[in-house]
Amino acid sequence: MPRSTISFIRRGQRVDVSNIDPKTTLLDWLRLHERSTGTKEGCAEGDCGACTVVLARERDGKLVYEPVNSCIMLLGQVDGSEVITVEDLATSQGLHKVQRAMVENHGSQCGFCTPGIVMSLFALSHAGREIIDRSAINDALAGNLCRCTGYRPIVDAAIQACSDHSPDHFDARAEKTLELFKQFRSLEDVFVGDDDSFFAAPAAESSLAFLVQKYPDATLIAGATDVGLWITKGLAPIKKLIWLGRIRALAGVEETEATISIGAGVTHETAAPYLAAIDQDFSEIAGRFGSQQVRTSGTVVGNIANGSPIGDWPPCFLILDAELELRAGLATRTLPLEDFFIAYKKQNREPGEYLRRVILKKPGAHDHIRLFKITKRRDEDISAVMSAFRITVEEGLITQARIAFGGMAGTPKRAQSAEAAIIGLPIKDIATWRAGAEGLSADFSPLSDHRASAEYRMRVARNLIIKALAEMAGVPSSSTRIVGLREDAHVAP
């Protein structure tokens, strides 16, 4: 029998929730059911971070603390976690070091974003970093909008709080918390509700395959960073939800000599180091994907499954000749990622079928990788244009080219004319770069929208070809970029 409650830890106690609308968000549960109103709703779409809370979870025998947007996270997704909110940080001994630093540095003005910021910094203070630099703080805060302070005092507070490595009361009771987690048997399926309305959180992949076949009309979620918006903004009348976040078989990244396979339950956060190892531009893009809160919930495969023309990963994976593995019941099939995207909002996926994993081919010794993301705002913004390049250069000549774009068509798409235009040409020749840019005209006729005009998209896409090829030809990125410079990138420890 599956467990029929959503169960988690709250303030040191186990909480079991059974009688609940399956699409209830964590934020609504906190504010309306528990009446903990410290956590705020600023946008209900995971962009402002006022609703940030921290989930503590067990990973490899240790507690990890991750910030999430409670406004678009469904209550069922906290199953097996400890939910920590802004009310839980101070003790009878006084404010938590993060809170104290915020007060001492004048980090709050109107105070409405403050609970979310405190929780993001709380998570950062538990991230186990020896030294805290500005880019780590920018990363930690990219998902928290503050309209009053201009951030400088918050950055100072982050430096102060995270330089203090003394343990807090969460560290002090970590053993006890880990002990509490043991009662949530991780191999047990969870099914809350009935045939008409439920939140299912299977632990076994076989249960998932069964549920997806039995309820082909159910909505499958991983991070729910998109489906959450269908609920809060679209008021979608979703009744049946299947969450794949508890399935071990889908939670891993597997690496071979030639490939990287990312399971459907793998978050952006978990995948980031593997992707960063491909090329440092992957690290740059991984760091600009959504925000910390989105990256700890949302999944890499979800970014594909969702089929959006402006997802950041599909172009990056198209150049790596990625393949998808899909499963329906007991049957699995693989197909090239390129063939998954049929048209705008239409993918090659049958009812009762789900994406298991994406398999990336690692670049070869002669391959050069470049990725560029063009947005109005550097952090936490959706691409106007996303571009990805894998160019094989042998003895100065381009022998193979993979160029893919997002934001330029109804689906993420390869630029095959541009690719063809440069094959066989010398990489160092400016004429080659221009030929690539010219070739693009035959590939796309982009649309104008609120992110960019068609003219801008086309112009930038062409210029990015020039930029990528120039860099590959040896022009230092300090002469071609203002951010994400390759020369001064951090070397992963």
Partner 1 sequence: MSPHDMLDVSQKSLRHVGKSLAHDSAARHVQGSAIYIDDMPEPEGTLHIAIGGSPVARGLMRVLDLDAVRSAAGVVTVLTADDIPGKNDVSPAMGDDPMFAKDRVEFIGQALFAVVATTRDAARRAVRLVKSTFDEEPPSVTVEDAVERNETVLPNYEFGRGNTDEAIAGSRVKLSGHFRIGGQEHFYLEGQVSLAIPGEGDELLVYASSQHPTEVQHVVARVLGISDAQVTCEVRRMGGGFGGKESQASQWAAIAALAAKLTRKPCKIRLDRDDDMMLTGKRHDFRVDWELGADENGTLRAAEISLLARCGYSADLSQGVVDRAMFHSDNSYFIPDVRISSRRLKTNTVSNTAFRGFGGPQGMLAMERMIDALASATGRDPLDIRKANFYSEGRDKTPFGMSVEDHDVLHQLVSQLEISSDYRARRAHIDAFNKESPLIRRGIALTPVKFGISFTLTQMNQGGALVHVYSDGSVHLNHGGTEMGQGLFLKVAQIVAEEFGISLHRVRIMPTSTGKVPNTSPTAASAGTDLNGMASMLAARAIKERMAKFAAESRGVNPGDIIFRDDAVFVGNEKIEFAALAKACHAGRIHLSKASHYKTPKVVWDRPTAVGRPFYYFAYGAACSEVVIDTLTGEMKLERVDILHDVGRSLNPAIDIGQIEGGFVQGLGWLTTEELVYDAKGHLKTHAPSTYKIPVASDIPEDFRVSLFDGANREDTVYRSKAVGEPPVMLAISVFSAILNAIQSLQPGTPVPLNAPATPEEILKAVQALGGGGGF
Kindly state the smallest distance separating residue 261's Cβ from partner 1, in Å. 31
**CA distance linking residue 424 with residue 160, whole number of Å:** 55
**CA distance linking residue 186 with residue 56, whole number of Å:** 15
Kindly state the smallest distance separating residue 339's Cβ from partner 1, in Å. 29
- Calculated CA dihedral for residues 399, 402, 403, 407, nearest 10 degrees: 170
Residue 131 interacting with partner 1 (CB under 8 A): no
Residue 87 interacting with partner 1 (CB under 8 A): yes
Between residues 202 and 298, which has the closer beta carbon with respect to partner 1?
298
Between residues 274 and 405, which has the closer beta carbon with respect to partner 1?
405
Residue 95 interacting with partner 1 (CB under 8 A): yes
Site for partner 1 in 185-204 (CB under 8 A): none
Site for partner 1 in 223-282 (CB under 8 A): 233, 235
Between residues 91 and 186, which has the closer beta carbon with respect to partner 1?
91
Between residues 42 and 302, which has the closer beta carbon with respect to partner 1?
42
Between residues 208 and 294, which has the closer beta carbon with respect to partner 1?
294
Between residues 441 and 463, which has the closer beta carbon with respect to partner 1?
463
Residue 50 interacting with partner 1 (CB under 8 A): yes
**What's phi and psi for 5, nearest 5 deg?**
-130, 150
- Mention every residue, 6+ apart, whose C-beta is less than 8 A from residue 377: none
Residue 145 interacting with partner 1 (CB under 8 A): yes
Neighbour count for residue 235 (Cβ, 10 Å)? 9
Determine the interface stretch with partner 1 among 85-93, 179-187, 210-218, 255-263 (rule: CB under 8 A): 85-93
Bridge partners for 74 per DSSP: 25
Between residues 103 and 343, which has the closer beta carbon with respect to partner 1?
103
Determine the interface stretch with partner 1 among 135-143, 350-358, 392-400, 406-414 (rule: CB under 8 A): 135-143
∠335-336-342 over CA atoms, to 5°? 90
Kindly state the smallest distance separating residue 171's Cβ from partner 1, in Å. 20
Between residues 309 and 363, which has the closer beta carbon with respect to partner 1?
309
Site for partner 1 in 105-124 (CB under 8 A): 106-115, 118
Kindly state the smallest distance separating residue 12's Cβ from partner 1, in Å. 18
Query: Is residue 489 exposed (0-12), middle (13-18) or buried (19+ Cβ within 10 Å)?
Result: middle
480 within 8 A of 467, measured Cβ to Cβ = yes
Please work out the total of residues on this chain that contact partner 1, with binding judged by CB under 8 A: 89
Site for partner 1 in 273-332 (CB under 8 A): none
**H or E element that contains 192:** strand 190-194
Between residues 357 and 462, which has the closer beta carbon with respect to partner 1?
462
Kindly state the smallest distance separating residue 142's Cβ from partner 1, in Å. 5
Kindly state the smallest distance separating residue 357's Cβ from partner 1, in Å. 28
Residue 141 interacting with partner 1 (CB under 8 A): yes
Kindly provide the b/e burial profile for residues 306-319, where b requires at least 16 CB atoms within 10 angstroms of the residue's own CB: bbbbbbbbbbbbbb
Among 14, 18, 37, 248, binds partner 1 (CB under 8 A): 37
Nearest in space to 403 (alpha carbons), one of 348, 364, 444: 444
Nearest in space to 119 (alpha carbons), one of 40, 173, 11: 40
Determine the interface stretch with partner 1 among 83-91, 174-182, 195-203, 213-221 (rule: CB under 8 A): 83-91
**CA distance linking residue 309 with residue 386, whole number of Å:** 10
* Cα dihedral across residues 105, 107, 110, 114: positive or negative: negative
Among 22, 42, 67, 315, binds partner 1 (CB under 8 A): 42
Structure tokens at 258: 């030639």
Site for partner 1 in 146-185 (CB under 8 A): 146-155
For residue 63, how far is the Cα from the chain centroid? 20
Nearest in space to 159 (alpha carbons), one of 202, 199, 104: 104
Among 60, 195, 479, 491, binds partner 1 (CB under 8 A): 479
Structure tokens at 448: 């104008």
**CA distance linking residue 79 with residue 4, whole number of Å:** 11
Neighbour count for residue 229 (Cβ, 10 Å)? 18
Between residues 172 and 430, which has the closer beta carbon with respect to partner 1?
430
**CA distance linking residue 57 with residue 60, whole number of Å:** 10
358 within 8 A of 323, measured Cβ to Cβ = yes
Between residues 71 and 247, which has the closer beta carbon with respect to partner 1?
71
Between residues 102 and 250, which has the closer beta carbon with respect to partner 1?
102
For the chain, the distance separating the N- and C-terminal CA atoms, rounded to the nearest angstrom, is 45
Residue 383 interacting with partner 1 (CB under 8 A): no
Site for partner 1 in 419-478 (CB under 8 A): 430, 433-434, 437, 449-453, 456, 459-460, 463-464, 466-467, 470, 478
